[in-house]
Amino acid sequence: MEQAKETKATKKNVFDSFQDGTRKGWNIFVKSMMPSIVMAYTFIYILEATGLMDFLSNLFAPVMGIFGLPPIAVVCLATVFFSRAGGCALAASFVVDGSLTSMQATILLPTMFLIGGTINQWVRIISVCGTRSERQMYIIGLTWILAFVSLWVSRFVFAIFA
Amino acid sequence: MSENQTKGKVSLVGLIMLIIAFLVFSGIFADAEGPLEVVDFTNLLGSFGKIAETFDFRGKGGVSARDGFLFSLTLCPTVMVAMGLIQIFENYGALTTAEKLLTPIMRPLLGVPGQASLALVGGLSSSDAGAALTRGLYDAGEITEDERDIFTAFQYSSSGIITNYFGGASSLFAYITVGAGVPFAYLFLIKIIEANLMRLIIKMQSKKEAAVK
């Protein structure tokens, strides 16, 4: 593809670099972001139209309540399993329609990022690095523990910078 | 990583780029008056025009797949501009400079040798590159098994953070209460914490094993 051409060039100016980057961004958008958003919106429509959303909301309300988040936050956390970009985009749309506050979305962001890609990055990183299986569990366990501890900690951290 | 990056020393341009990258994504100049306002990601992104003075082209009251499609279009420029800026910073040596600056502090920070800084920086843009470089260090005997596993924990947490964060999470940048760089720095800190927790676990395990023997 174009990548071969890109690496051959010795030095690119600011304008070419910017365009190369926007092209990469476009690919991320077309290949990852847009499909996962369309998928998520359709899925949410199905959940809402069938009444399953209310059921799930009631189910997860206590858990999400512990972290000061509305039950709909579960949908974002579930979506990042398929796509980090999709989960984040969904959180953005929840802020737009008022289901999440900006602060709640900010708190969710690091957690979504940490648990997103648990499975595929496991194969692509931990297996490639060659860590033995008993220690693989530690790495994934630590990531998940930190992800949920972050739901509490991040609000204080981000409050400083707000 | 691109081949055009100068090797060996910290370049002034690279350092300046690293600083600009920090400023653009920190949100420090988000509300700046005058020319400085261009040194901010959200301002560079601009805004959509309004239809009937209220809504952007997405309109109101859309449902399901069609609404999702239009909503996703509103996020497209964000990811394009974010990746465009990152590419400039990379091409002008911001990452190479970061690598050189990190080399002396790798041992205290993560408990791995300084040579691992290339794998660290490589892993910031591509999780696959980071994993391959980490494996390479171990196969070449430059890091021990324990060091490899500590480093793997670092690579795994928020993997490929630059590309994945500024690409994947960019849709949220306009809606969070802090500058885009703040959660990035926070996630980077978690990477370091996770590696050090792994370091602690491995240390305790080897102590236990030594006691059993």
Give contacts of B64 with chain A, Cβ < 8 Å: 41-42, 44-45
B5, part of any domain: no
**Rounded average pLDDT over A136-148:** 94
**Residue B2: inside a domain, yes or no?**
no
pLDDT along chain B (213 residues), means of 10: 50 89 85 87 84 77 88 88 90 88 93 92 89 92 94 93 89 90 95 96 90 81
B7 in a structural domain: no
**What count of other Cβ atoms lies within 10 Å of the Cβ of residue A131?**
25
**Contact flag A154-B67 (C-beta cutoff 8 Å):** no
Q: Is residue B183 part of a domain?
A: yes
Q: Can you tell me the ipTM of this complex?
A: 0.84
Does residue B169 lie within any of the structural domains? yes
Task: Provide the domain limits for residue A130.
Answer: 3-161
A138 in Cβ contact with A152 (< 8 Å): no
Structure confidence by residue, pLDDT tens digits, B58-71? 777 888 899 989 98
Interval A93-121: pLDDT, tens: 899 889 999 999 999 999 999 998 788 88
In chain A, how many domains are there? Answer: 1
Contacts of A92 in chain B (CB under 8 A): 75, 171-172, 174-175
A22, A38, A124 ranked by CB distance to B83: nearest: A22
Tell me what pLDDT residue A12 has.
81
Cβ pair B152:A154 closer than 8 A: no
Cβ of A33 and B148 within 8 Å?
no
Number of domains in chain B: 1
Q: Dihedrals φ, ψ of B55, to 5°? A: -110, 155
Which residues in chain B are contacts of A42 at CB distance < 8 A? 64-65, 68
**Mutant choice from B1, B87, B89, B182 vs A, greatest count of A C-beta within 10 A:** B87
How far, in Å, are A91, A95, B81, B166 from residue B46 at the CA level?
21, 19, 10, 17
Q: Where are the beta strands (DSSP E) in A4-132?
A: none
Domain of residue B100: give its range.
12-212
